[in-house]
Structure 1
Amino acid sequence: MYALLSAVFAALTAVFAKKGVSNIDSDLAMAIRTVVITVISWGLFFWKGNVSGIGTLTRQNWRYLVFSGLATGLSWIFYFKALQMGKVSQVAPVDKMSVAIAILLSVVFLGEVLTWKMALGAALIIAGTIVLIL
């Protein structure tokens, strides 16, 4: 259910961002969205009372969360620029190709097992993306 809700809100993100990025700098649009997300994230964190969890973070947690944040930031920079220049119906599918890339990276870097179903699913995502952008 959470994954489905995530997909719905990700779709709304693309549509709202396309409307919001029109006639302004894409970096400004991304910065505004980032502030909103930051307020929501920290608000939820404090509201749930998880403050003691900060002390349990290890160096590895910090390192990989910082790397993840950097990757997210770079992804958003390119995503907003792509939305500004292209159609949502073409940008969003290419962006979602990250699912196929994540599958491959999880095998290489995390040692996850690549099943034939996962390989076929990744291949279909890539093929579907190519069909949608052509």
Structure 2
Amino acid sequence: MHFSRTMAVAALALGLFAGLGPAAFAATEVPFTQQVFEASQHEGKPILVHITAPWCPYCAKQRPILDSLENEAAFKDLVVYNVDFDTQKDIVRAMGAQKQSTLIVFHGAAEKGRSTGDTDAGSIKALLEKAND
């Protein structure tokens, strides 16, 4: 048993060092600036804008779901922008968001879908998949 565990750890470590582990599939979280957001849109990237607040219970439930999904191979090209509902009001208004816990997906410049207050992993995954279309 000890030999098997040691081998498994070694294999995982080699995979991580070779860029083959879970981190190789992670989406990219980027601080929001209008210039960087527009560049992602211009490049035709799949994009998630998460309007969030540290005090929001829905946001707290969304975070582990998003963390898990962002590490799936299907979302390796996803660019994620977290926008603070309280301190980035200009961006919140520009996105047309009325509440925190709003998820907005784009493929390039085209908005593909949005939801607010969703904490169901399946429907959040379905929303993120729209960014790949």
Bin of the TM-score, shorter chain as denominator length: under 0.3
TM-score normalized with structure 2 length: 0.24
Q: When you count helix as a share of all residues, which structure comes out higher?
A: 1
Higher strand share: 2
